[in-house]
């Protein structure tokens, strides 16, 4: 019973650590939102740019690189492929930053979401 009371004495320090972690996560999320990653499909025929919030920022289609610009199905497939690849890159960037934050705070791997 008294062991539990000892743990209560650590409560203010634990709460301060939790607040610090929240602040650092918020700052990291804000910083990641400003970062952008791009990925292409069809050897650069379609390029997708995504931010750290996984929002599609831009989509570029290079008409010079498309074999047949009238082939709508190919353009659609390349667009989906480029967007998925850009989302994957952004997710990997977020995971790496979360792992780094967890490590900097002395937390074991997997303690923060996406780490």
Q: What is the pLDDT of residues 78-111, one digit of tens each?
A: 999 999 999 999 999 999 988 888 787 777 766 6
The strand pairing partners of 58, in sequence order, are 49
Cα–Cα dist 28/43, whole Å: 33
What are the tens digits of pLDDT across the range 19-64? 888 888 889 889 989 999 999 999 999 999 999 999 999 999 998 8
Strands (E), the chain: 36-41, 46-51, 56-61
CATH T-level topology, domain 2-104: Ybab; Chain: A; (3.30.1310)
Q: Determine the Cα–Cα distance for residues 92 and 69; give it in Å rounded to an integer.
A: 32
């Amino acid at each position: 019973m008294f062991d539990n009371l000892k743990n209560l004495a650590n409560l203010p320090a634990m709460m301060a650590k939790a607040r610090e972690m929240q602040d650092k996560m918020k700052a990291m999320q804000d910083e990641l939102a400003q970062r952008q990653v791009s990925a292409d499909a069809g050897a650069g025929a379609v390029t997708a740019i995504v931010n750290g919030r996984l929002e599609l920022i831009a989509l570029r289609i290079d008409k010079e690189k498309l074999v047949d610009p009238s082939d709508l199905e190919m353009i659609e497939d390349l667009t989906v492929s480029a967007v998925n690849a850009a989302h994957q890159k952004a997710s990997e960037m977020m995971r790496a930053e979360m792992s780094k934050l967890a490590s900097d705070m002395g937390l074991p791997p997997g303690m923060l979401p996406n780490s």
